A and B are shown apart, each in its own frame.
Chain A
């Protein structure tokens, strides 16, 4: 039987097991929406802005492990997805984005709502397609899902001209995909694996350094097994938090610009670094020439371009993290003679000293709510089990520092692109993926306003998403840099015209709770969790709290600033100006 392109689109999604898509309709995708309207297998979540739709699909993907799916119209609908796609691309999130396009015959004519979205998204997608004929639609969708979810995952975009959705063809969904140019290496080279084990056996000061790849490949179980076997310290990038339990004594916390002292000093003093699914981002390495000077580096990654991109690597291993860790575990199980704990005893003593000298602390001023305290209380009230999304800036770093993530896919944050406005729509997507979980978006008063319109989406579906706004009436992270490096000149970072967030919540049909006293923080969080509706928790926090420790941009990661040694103090005049401004 012949089906229209729109019908084929829906059939293909069903074949891929898609049950939820996020989108926004428009002229050239009317045929698809008409077919979606007539069926019950796939639910369509109407966002209020296409960027929100993409972040929601991204949050859905991160929380569930399934690819996120987006459907939008041509022109502005398509261009509005770009930030969301770039966010997913930087963090390797599997996603398939469908954009409508003007009919094939009109492409290139500056037609109404025409944009060359394939050209625009070429550098920020893993791959993209313009479907030029309905006969190619099914195979293109099959390929897109395959590419998005295999190898290093990422977003794939499919541009659908209107005539392709109307025209009919015989529907046949290909059983498998054979792409000559896409055959990722999933098993590490056995020789290299053996070399890695030899290095682990020899090392006196080894360190595991893991990233988002561990979560993406579902390698958390193998990772835990390996770390416990060899009794080595482990540190994880922002993207990898939750792969190893944050409350475990072998876990040192996050390294890098706002990492723990113990994690940074361990990287700088290790004689062996086993890096798994991490890409040595500049926020982790600091000054690259001074990074990990004593270490032999073993680097496991599925993407060959990640290896030796930023740092020298002694043992490169291209392969899937889960397979590779599993193979390493098998090899390690045969090493019965090694007394791992004993071998690392001196190393642990040094680390223990660093942890004792510089624990994670924060300034807790009388009469103020420290933003870090709020994160700690969210951790306590949710027993460490919530799915936490963040915006970008101070809120993101405090969430990473003070919420101890126990599980994979529990912490959803825009690490690579650093997209303000990510957290709230991502929380919506996560709540759709995990309806029984408590979901918190830890936000700032600046970033929450970047996709605040999605409150309508959350309320429409009665989603019990909790938004914790840490309101300091600043763009806090930028202000912190201005305080520390620009002599307290707070250029365009003072937010004095923010809305009344409680009234705003009420205007959308959500619940707003304002918290101004430290004593009320925990109660308010508990109350919010109990409410079966979207809640804004509006915390008025210490205005000039900083994220510490901090490694200044361009410095080596052992040159850390702490609350008590790095902070410039404001003059009283400057202080007055901020308060009145």
Chain B
């Protein structure tokens, strides 16, 4: 099952390696990981998306909590309501015949064109993973040159 785990850690060197090590040591892949300082810059907030056996993830969650530099662990898959958003940059081919279509799709998803050239638009979109995946599918026939995703950040309601 897919898990979105939010972790508050001390903003110090080596902490990311400790957290990542708990996953890699069990042969778990981290699908996405997002980390940045919090309001109080002494701490950082991580949002980790991973999938795996629930029992093992409960264990990982407990192990995370056991790390000295970890202050708080919240596994949103426990049923708690949360908002999750991800930002994606999509570079799409925008030759003459496709330019209008690319803009229309971007409009539907309330995305923004943040860079344009004779051959490409770079579109910025934020949203849940479902929305992001949907716009990617819509743009794919036009020819996607590349995408960069931040991975989701999550916050409880």
Q: Which residues of A contact B (CB under 8 A)?
A: 118-119, 122-123, 126-127, 130, 147, 179-182, 303-305, 308-309
Name the B residues within 8 Å of A305 (CB-CB).
Answer: 59, 62-63, 66
A309 and B61 alpha carbons, distance in the complex (Å): 12
Q: How far is the CB of B39 from chain A (nearest CB, A)?
A: 15
Pair B68/A127 contact, Cβ less than 8 Å: yes
Name the A residues within 8 Å of B21 (CB-CB).
Answer: 122-123
B86 interfacial contact with A, CB 8 Å: no
In the complex, given contacts A180-B71, A305-B62, what are 12 additional A-B residue pairs having Cβ atoms less than 8 angstroms apart? A122-B18, A122-B21, A123-B21, A123-B25, A126-B68, A181-B10, A181-B68, A181-B71, A182-B68, A304-B62, A308-B58, A309-B59
| Residues A179 and B68 in contact in the complex (CB < 8 Å), given A123-B21, A304-B62, A305-B63 | yes
Q: Which residues of B contact A (CB under 8 A)?
A: 9-10, 13-14, 17-18, 21, 25, 58-59, 62-63, 65-71
Q: Closest residue of chain B to A128, judged by CB?
A: B14
Name the A residues within 8 Å of B70 (CB-CB).
Answer: 181
A308 and B55 alpha carbons, distance in the complex (Å): 9
**Central interface residue in B10, B21, B58, B62, by most chain A CB within 10 Å:** B62
Q: Which of B9, B14, B58 contacts A130 (CB 8 A)?
A: B14
A304 and B66 alpha carbons, distance in the complex (Å): 9
A397 and B136 alpha carbons, distance in the complex (Å): 62
Q: Closest residue of chain A to B43, judged by CB?
A: A180
A365 and B144 alpha carbons, distance in the complex (Å): 80
Q: How far is the CB of A539 from chain B (nearest CB, A)?
A: 41
Pair A304/B65 contact, Cβ less than 8 Å: yes
Q: Which of A123, A130, A181 contacts B69 (CB 8 A)?
A: A181
A to B CB contacts below 8 Å, 26 in the list: A118-B14, A119-B17, A122-B18, A122-B21, A123-B25, A126-B68, A127-B67, A127-B68, A130-B14, A147-B68, A179-B68, A180-B71, A181-B10, A181-B67, A181-B68, A181-B69, A181-B70, A182-B68, A303-B66, A304-B62, A304-B65, A305-B59, A305-B62, A305-B63, A305-B66, A309-B59
Q: Closest residue of chain A to B56, judged by CB?
A: A309
Q: How far is the CB of A231 from chain B (nearest CB, A)?
A: 35
A147 and B69 alpha carbons, distance in the complex (Å): 12
A422 and B144 alpha carbons, distance in the complex (Å): 60
A303 and B59 alpha carbons, distance in the complex (Å): 12
Q: Closest residue of chain A to B42, judged by CB?
A: A180
Name the B residues within 8 Å of A126 (CB-CB).
Answer: 68
Name the A residues within 8 Å of B18 (CB-CB).
Answer: 122
Q: Closest residue of chain B to A180, judged by CB?
A: B71
Name the A residues within 8 Å of B10 (CB-CB).
Answer: 180-181
A133 and B18 alpha carbons, distance in the complex (Å): 21
Name the A residues within 8 Å of B58 (CB-CB).
Answer: 308
Q: How far is the CB of B41 from chain A (nearest CB, A)?
A: 15
A179 and B68 alpha carbons, distance in the complex (Å): 8
Pair B62/A122 contact, Cβ less than 8 Å: no
A303 and B67 alpha carbons, distance in the complex (Å): 12
Q: Closest residue of chain B to A156, judged by CB?
A: B68
Name the B residues within 8 Å of A182 (CB-CB).
Answer: 68
Q: How far is the CB of B43 from chain A (nearest CB, A)?
A: 9
Q: How far is the CB of A183 from chain B (nearest CB, A)?
A: 10
**Central interface residue in B10, B62, B65, B68, by most chain A CB within 10 Å:** B68
A119 and B18 alpha carbons, distance in the complex (Å): 9
Q: How far is the CB of A289 from chain B (nearest CB, A)?
A: 14
Q: How far is the CB of A443 from chain B (nearest CB, A)?
A: 32
Q: Closest residue of chain A to B17, judged by CB?
A: A122
Q: How far is the CB of B93 from chain A (nearest CB, A)?
A: 42
A366 and B106 alpha carbons, distance in the complex (Å): 91
Name the B residues within 8 Å of A130 (CB-CB).
Answer: 13-14
Q: How far is the CB of A316 from chain B (nearest CB, A)?
A: 11
Q: Closest residue of chain B to A309, judged by CB?
A: B59
A179 and B62 alpha carbons, distance in the complex (Å): 18
Name the B residues within 8 Å of A308 (CB-CB).
Answer: 58
Q: How far is the CB of B18 from chain A (nearest CB, A)?
A: 6
A180 and B10 alpha carbons, distance in the complex (Å): 9
Name the B residues within 8 Å of A123 (CB-CB).
Answer: 21, 25
Top-7 shortest CB links A-B: A305-B62, A127-B68, A182-B68, A181-B71, A181-B68, A181-B70, A304-B62
Q: How far is the CB of A119 from chain B (nearest CB, A)?
A: 7
A309 and B56 alpha carbons, distance in the complex (Å): 8
Q: How far is the CB of B143 from chain A (nearest CB, A)?
A: 42
Q: Closest residue of chain B to A305, judged by CB?
A: B62
**Central interface residue in A127, A147, A180, by most chain B CB within 10 Å:** A180
Q: How far is the CB of A185 from chain B (nearest CB, A)?
A: 11
Q: How far is the CB of B23 from chain A (nearest CB, A)?
A: 12
Name the A residues within 8 Å of B13 (CB-CB).
Answer: 130
A181 and B69 alpha carbons, distance in the complex (Å): 6
